[in-house]
Chain A
Amino acid sequence: MAKKESTFLSMVLTLFMVTLVAAGLLGSVYALTKEPIRLAELKKKNEAIQVVVPGFDNEPSQEVERIFMDGDSLYLYTARLGEEILGTAVETFTNKGFSGEFKLMVGFAPDGSIIDIAVIKHAETPGLGDKMEKGKSDFSVQFMGKHPDSFNIAVTKDRGDVDAITASTITSRAYCDAVTRAYGAFMESQKAN
């Protein structure tokens, strides 16, 4: 087959065809992956809720409250066992991480004390900032059972009560920022109800 000549019409037509085919391909791949992406995100969310407010028998991801704060939304999920409220899982964020934004799920007991914290999404450095994840270090353990009124959520360098991860003060600060924001949202929703 001979090489096609570069006339104006052939150039415009070719680019148009290439783009059309590309758009068609992407549209169908998008349609195919839409459901898996939604499920993957839902699964991550449910697993995090399971960790931070364990023992519920309802579907917390269906009982959502949205609170707008610092330019983005926080989501509050209520966990119940029968009629009793076990606690609230708050999906919170921070933009101050070492690699930008990350998201946490913070579980609060009805009295406002922290049950547990899980990381939903992050891009922090493996071996450094990712020690904030449960199981990679004891960093998140120090928050368990603490009440933000008596436990100052800030790293010790900022005169708080949180021991920062070694060499990851920025990540630790961002983590505290996200937890504080979660507590703010939790209090706001308590006041409203």
Chain B
Amino acid sequence: MNQWKNFSKGFIKENAVFVLFLGLCPTLGVTTSAINGLGMGLATTFVLVMSNLVVSLVKNLIPDKVRIPAFIVIIASFVTVVELVMRGYVPGLFDALGLFIPLIVVNCVVLGRAEAFASKNTIWSSLVDGAGMGLGFTMALTVLGAVRELLGSGAFFGMKLISGDAMLLFILPPGAFLALGYLLVLANMIKEKTS
């Protein structure tokens, strides 16, 4: 398989958020700022790459019927690794992302890739697939975070661009839904233009 295609599909053609509508809980929950979106995306990417790697390594050793529970244990282990490392080295970000770090374990993107891709493909392809899907997810979260931060608090990655308050609605919960809704419309418009 063409590895470049395999890698880049996660960004546009099969983007987890904008096209497949997977992993929406953290997408909406943590994107109150661009940096939170980026942090969450990278944490998820790590879990995705590692679980894809391990699943494709052990795929022939695991009987079919207990496949899913075994995958879940593998994923949950890497989630806990991320949790512990973040608490030790980036405690501020860990506090801000809160509940959504342990919830990576139920992110449909991660289990979905393990089941649909890594359990059928070679180690190298699975690694590339995990990195592509993860970084595509990271991109989506960062874009949504940047848009909400820009509209909601008039800042870009924490740098204040305007003084005073902006449209506060966008960093409140309803703003998450609205911003993602309109970004999807935008994505559809781009799709129409290009095809």
List the interface of chain A (C-beta within 8 A of B).
Answer: 1-7, 10-11, 14-15, 18-19, 22, 25-26, 29-30, 33, 36-37, 39-41, 44, 99, 121-123, 125-128, 166-167
Which of B7-15, B74-82, B128-136 lies at the interface with chain A?
B74-82
Q: Mark B147-177, 1 if CB is under 8 A from A, else 0.
A: 0010011010000000001001001100000
Given contacts A33-B87, A33-B88, A36-B88, contact A126 B95 (CB under 8 A): no
**Which residues from B are CB-within-8-Å of A26?**
77, 80-81
Which 9 A/B pairs are nearest by Cβ-Cβ distance? A127-B153, A36-B88, A6-B63, A22-B77, A126-B33, A33-B84, A6-B65, A37-B88, A33-B88
CB pair A29–B64 under 8 Å, yes or no, is no
Nearest CB in chain A to that of B154: its residue: A127
Nearest CB in chain B to that of A44: its residue: B91
CB distance from B34 to the nearest CB of A (A): 10
**Which residues from B are CB-within-8-Å of A41?**
91
CB pair A15–B96 under 8 Å, yes or no, is no
CB distance from A130 to the nearest CB of B (A): 9
Q: How many A-B residue pairs have CB under 8 A?
A: 96
**Which residues from B are CB-within-8-Å of A99?**
98
How many Å lie between the Cα of A146 and that of B33 in the bound state?
A: 34
Residue contacts A-B, CB under 8 angstroms, 7 given: A11-B63, A22-B77, A33-B88, A37-B91, A126-B96, A127-B33, A128-B168
Most chain A CB inside 10 Å of its own CB: which residue of B85, B88, B98, B153: B88
CB pair A14–B62 under 8 Å, yes or no, is yes
**Which residues from A are CB-within-8-Å of B81?**
25-26, 29
How many Å lie between the Cα of A29 and that of B95 in the bound state?
A: 20
**Which residues from A are CB-within-8-Å of B171?**
125-128
CB pair B98–A123 under 8 Å, yes or no, is yes
How many Å lie between the Cα of A167 and that of B95 in the bound state?
A: 22
How many Å lie between the Cα of A126 and that of B84 in the bound state?
A: 23
How many Å lie between the Cα of A83 and that of B32 in the bound state?
A: 47
